[in-house]
Amino acid sequence: MDLQKAMMASAAGLRAQSVRMRVISENIANQDSVATDPGADPYRRKIVTFQTEMDRANGVETVKATGVEFDQKEFGKKYDPGNPAADSAGYIKTSNVNGLIELMDMRQAQRTYQSNLNALEASRRMATMTLDLLR
């Protein structure tokens, strides 16, 4: 039944966006981290990668979060000569997480999650109406 395939695709989208939200939450929680030792790196921003996956058994194409990669953008620097992690010039490395970008990504993940939820609910309602017709 095509409605079942639609529900499977929407459910896969919900799972993928859940992974994305978890990673965004980790990024936000660690955005103020700094290096703990001279030359050490602070928290590095993570990015979720997605891939289309064909479920041959059910004949439906779904999305899957395939991995989490590190953002290779440069770390920030903060002048703090009294910090034990400061380099010889008095700078410490700060995380490469930008809170504004994380908030934008979070809003997009929320909208995508809600869209998948709406599609799942619509498919469920249509299946229920079809069953009611057959009674």
Average pLDDT over every residue of 62-77: 95
The domain tally of the chain equals: 1
Question: Which pLDDT value is given to residue 1?
Answer: 59
Domain hosting residue 22, numbered range: 2-127
Query: Is the residue at 76 inside a domain?
Result: yes
Query: Is the residue at 108 inside a domain?
Result: yes
Query: Is the residue at 133 inside a domain?
Result: no
Query: Is the residue at 24 inside a domain?
Result: yes
Choose the weakest-confidence range: 1-5, 69-73, 96-100, 114-118. 1-5
Taking Cα atoms as reference points, which of 30, 63, 64 lies closest to residue 46?
30
Query: Is the residue at 112 inside a domain?
Result: yes
Q: Which residues of 57-68 are buried (b: 16+ CB within 10 A; e: fewer)?
A: eeebebbbbeee
Phi and psi torsions of 107, nearest 5°: -65, -40
Q: How confident is the model at residue 133 (pLDDT cuts 50, 70, 90)?
A: confident
Please tell me the pTM assigned to this model. 0.86
The alpha carbon of 23 is separated from its chain's Cα centroid by a whole number of angstroms, namely 5
The alpha carbon of 96 is separated from its chain's Cα centroid by a whole number of angstroms, namely 16
Question: Which pLDDT value is given to residue 103?
Answer: 97
